[in-house]
């Protein structure tokens, strides 16, 4: 769906490898991957809410005042 956001997934590294440069970059890549998948799911949820036909459109403030009656407008 978003090919440019794909992060190459690497197998889990043992804890003692994290202090080496390779292990550190692996950890970073793993976190990036997690954040990426979270972003994608958030994006999907946002799209669902924003572009759904069932989502009510925000009301114009003037329309709101008109609907509430003349008593509110001063």
Q: Can you tell me which residue has the tokens 């978003």?
A: 2
pLDDT tens-digit profile of 18-65? 566 777 787 888 888 899 899 988 888 887 776 666 666 666 666 666
Q: Across residues 6-23, what is the average pLDDT?
A: 60
Q: What is the pLDDT of residue 44?
A: 85
> Mapping DSSP to helix (H, G, I), strand (E, B) and coil, where does residue 54 land?
coil
Task: Give dist(CA 6, CA 38) in Å, integer.
Answer: 12
Task: Confirm whether pTM is higher than 0.75.
Answer: no
Task: Give dist(CA 51, CA 48) in Å, integer.
Answer: 6
Q: What is the pLDDT of residue 45?
A: 83
Confidence band for 10, pLDDT divided at 50, 70 and 90: low
Q: What is the pLDDT of residue 42?
A: 87
- Domains of the chain: which residue ranges? 3-68
């Amino acid at each position: 769906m978003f090919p440019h956001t794909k992060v190459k997934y690497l197998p889990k590294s043992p804890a003692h490898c994290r202090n080496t440069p390779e292990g550190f970059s692996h950890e970073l890549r793993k976190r990036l991957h997690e954040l990426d998948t979270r972003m994608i799911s958030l994006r999907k949820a946002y799209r669902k809410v924003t572009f759904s036909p069932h989502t009510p459109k925000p009301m114009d403030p003037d329309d709101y005042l008109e609907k509430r009656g003349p008593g509110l407008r001063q």
